[in-house]
Amino acid sequence: MPYIKYPDSNSFAQICQRPSLNAQSLDEIIEGIFKQVEIKSDQALRDFTLQFEKREIDSILYTEEEIKIFADQVPEALKQAIQQAYSNIYTFHKSQEFISQKTETSPGVICWQKASAIEKVGIYIPGGTAPLFSTILMLAIPAQIAGCREIVLCTPAIHPAIFYSAQLCGITKMAKVGGAQAIAALALGTESIPKVFKIFGPGNQYVTAAKMFANRKGVAIDMPAGPSEVAVYADSTANPAYVAADLLSQAEHGVDSQVFLVALDETFIFNVQEELERQVNVLERKDLAKMSLANSKIVLVKDRSEAVQLLNEYAAEHLILACEKPEELADNIYNAGSIFLGNYTPEAAGDYASGTNHTLPTNGFAKAYSGVNLGSFQKIITLQSISQSGLQHLGSSIIQMAEAESLQAHANAVAIRIKNPS
């Protein structure tokens, strides 16, 4: 891993830059895929699946019987693990339920809010070398709790745990398609796949570009996203072997994943580097991990305060605080997707089963975006109720403001009620 020693704080923004994707070069490809899906519907999905994946599909959707056959192939031990994760994720997201409260803003004027589920949501799970069935739990469970009427899953993956997780989470439709064409299908609708109102889930640069394109077409998405990442802050109380394991757990995702170590002690950094050399060579995905590490960074800083400044600038998707008094330090972190406190809280716990959501903002978007939560599957609708006396009390202010904005009809809508109460 490239090593940066005692950088000047003026260089922090440059140090935190991620590799950039040329989204503009993808737009023409993505627009072409969307046009074909719009014109040819299901047939376009068949054609693109054959073209991009060398895979022939007849029916677009899995039948209930097909889902059951795949789901039944999951070993009992894995089923129990998934069930435990389901329970923890459900419990944490259930605790986020919106509590409505009426407020009297002035005499006779009552305002409040209510949460309303997004009726139709789409979930995308990539194929690739890692079958991300855990992401189904992270997205479908809060959708269930929110009360989404239709949850549509698109994935080219065929790992049995994908089907078991979908069955467990009450997925209403499961499609065999992947890639940008799956995003286009969810955004536009086809004969088999219903148009949804919001799309969730990870994917490669084509999927990411397709989601951004869908967003420009008026379909909501979970968040802008780039490759997955982790930052670790470590002081002298951290365990170098643990830190190396955490860095590698992120690096094995893929060559474009980034890991970022911020430390106070050079000897500790050397110990981590030794552990990385030792641990990476026993990984099945060691080639991917090594390429990822080559694109990552280790930064030696002078003190805790400088570390906080650098970490807030980086705005990591995952941030591990392997240090003394991690909760106290976390109070000063305001840019991060999810924070993992102490030496016994690996990022992998949040990825799978602690209960928090692992669908998080990457690429610095944690400066402005939250990770997926129950509210991601809901809209908050405001309500208000005004009595006759309440409007009498408030009316003069409304009329004066409307007239000052030259919106006479607005003023009249209030004045007519005050002058002629029914």
- Report how far residue 251's alpha carbon sits from residue 234's, in angstroms, rounded to the nearest whole number: 18
- Report how far residue 95's alpha carbon sits from residue 381's, in angstroms, rounded to the nearest whole number: 20
- Report how far residue 139's alpha carbon sits from residue 199's, in angstroms, rounded to the nearest whole number: 10
Please indicate, yes or no, whether the overall pTM of this predicted structure exceeds 0.85: yes
Active site residue 328: no
Catalytic residue, from 275, 317, 347, 358: name it: 317
Q: What is the CATH code of the structural domain delimited by 226-370?
A: 3.40.50.1980
- Asked if 23-109+117-222 and 226-370 have one fold, the answer is yes
Binding-site annotation, residues for Zn(2+): 250, 253, 351, 410
Amino acid symbol at 384: Q
Residue 24 is predicted with a pLDDT of 67
pLDDT by residue, tens only, the chain of 422 residues: 899 999 999 999 999 998 765 666 788 999 999 999 999 999 999 999 999 999 999 999 999 999 999 999 999 999 999 999 999 999 999 999 999 999 999 999 999 999 999 999 999 999 977 899 999 999 999 999 999 999 999 999 999 999 999 999 999 899 999 999 999 999 999 999 999 999 999 998 899 999 999 999 999 999 988 889 999 999 999 999 999 999 999 999 888 889 999 999 999 999 999 999 999 999 999 999 999 999 899 999 999 999 999 999 999 999 999 999 999 999 999 999 999 999 999 999 999 999 999 999 999 999 999 999 999 999 999 999 999 999 999 999 999 999 999 999 999 999 999 999 98
Neighbouring C-beta atoms of residue 160, cutoff 10 Å: 18
Residue 226 is predicted with a pLDDT of 80
- Report how far residue 341's alpha carbon sits from residue 344's, in angstroms, rounded to the nearest whole number: 8
Per-residue pLDDT of 222-234, as tens digits, reads 998 888 999 999 9
Residue 174 is predicted with a pLDDT of 98
Residue 20 is predicted with a pLDDT of 66
One DSSP character per residue, 338-364 reads EEEESTT--HHHHHHTSSS------TT
CATH topology of domain 23-109+117-222: Rossmann fold (3.40.50)
DSSP tag of 61: B
Active site residue 317: yes
Locate the domains of the chain by residue range.
Answer: 23-109+117-222, 226-370, 387-419
- What is the enclosing helix (H) or strand (E) of 279? helix 266-280
Neighbouring C-beta atoms of residue 357, cutoff 10 Å: 24
Catalytic residue, from 318, 327, 393, 403: name it: 318
Binding-site annotation, residues: 124, 181, 204, 228, 250, 253, 318, 351, 405, 410
